[in-house]
């Protein structure tokens, strides 16, 4: 098994989706830790901090955990990383959100509908 450790450069953080169950854990973490999602232009994930580090790292979605461990999701910072065995990769892929019920972490409405403030206007209201 790989001994690769993500060093949180943020290169792989983009338009990412998670399952409802993952979102519940992320929302709870945001509330418990006072995380402030950052509204951005484009499709960047709103949970990346100014230092590029994931603000919900302990509860980040499966999709994010797969980078650097799956052949189609290489980590540019560690091209020599071992990949997961196919059965592990498949088990993780099976946990990915289906399009119909995916929760999108770059969409301000995701946070708004959960009553979570972001760095948009709702903070100053
Ligand atoms: S998986 Fe790689 S590209 Fe993504 S944040 Fe970690 S070190 Fe950076
Ligand atoms: S949840 Fe964290 S690791 Fe995943 S894309 Fe967003 S900032 Fe990056």
- The string of pLDDT tens digits covering residues 15-52 is 999 999 999 999 999 999 999 999 887 788 999 998 88
Question: Ligand 1 pocket test: which of 76, 79, 81, 84 has the largest number of ligand atoms within 8 Å of its C-beta?
Answer: 76
- Non-local (6+) Cβ contacts of 47 within 8 A are 13, 26, 35, 37, 38, 54, 55, 56, 60, 105
* N-terminal to C-terminal alpha carbon distance within the chain: 49
Q: Which pLDDT score, from 0 to 100, does residue 115 have?
A: 96
Q: How many angstroms is it from 6 CA to the middle of ligand 1?
A: 5
Q: Do 84 and 39 touch, CB atoms closer than 8 A?
A: no
pLDDT digits (tens, 9 = 90+) for 74-112: 888 888 888 888 999 999 999 898 888 899 999 999 999
Query: What is this structure's pTM?
Result: 0.89
DSSP, res 25: H
Q: How far apart are CA 107 and CA 82, in angstroms?
A: 32
Q: How many other β-carbons are positioned within 10 Å of the β-carbon of residue 102?
A: 18
Going from N- to C-terminal start, the domains of the chain cover 17-123
Pocket of ligand 2 (CB under 6 A): 13, 16, 45, 47-48, 54, 56, 60-61, 64, 105
Q: Sorting pLDDT into bands at 50, 70 and 90, what band is 1?
A: very low
Give the pLDDT confidence score for residue 74 in this predicted structure.
Answer: 87
Q: What is the pLDDT of residue 121?
A: 53
């Amino acid at each position: 098994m790989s001994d690769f450790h993500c060093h949180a450069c943020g290169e792989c953080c983009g338009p990412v989706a998670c399952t409802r169950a993952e979102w519940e854990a992320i929302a709870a973490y945001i509330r418990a830790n006072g995380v402030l999602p950052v509204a951005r232009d484009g499709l960047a994930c709103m949970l990346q901090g100014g230092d590029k580090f994931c603000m919900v790292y302990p509860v980040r979605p499966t999709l994010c955990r797969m980078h650097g461990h799956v052949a189609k999701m290489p980590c540019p910072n560690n091209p020599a990383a071992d990949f997961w065995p196919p059965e592990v990769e498949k088990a993780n892929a099976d946990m990915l959100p289906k399009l119909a019920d995916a929760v999108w972490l770059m969409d301000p409405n995701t946070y708004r509908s959960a009553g979570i403030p972001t760095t948009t206007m709702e903070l100053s209201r």
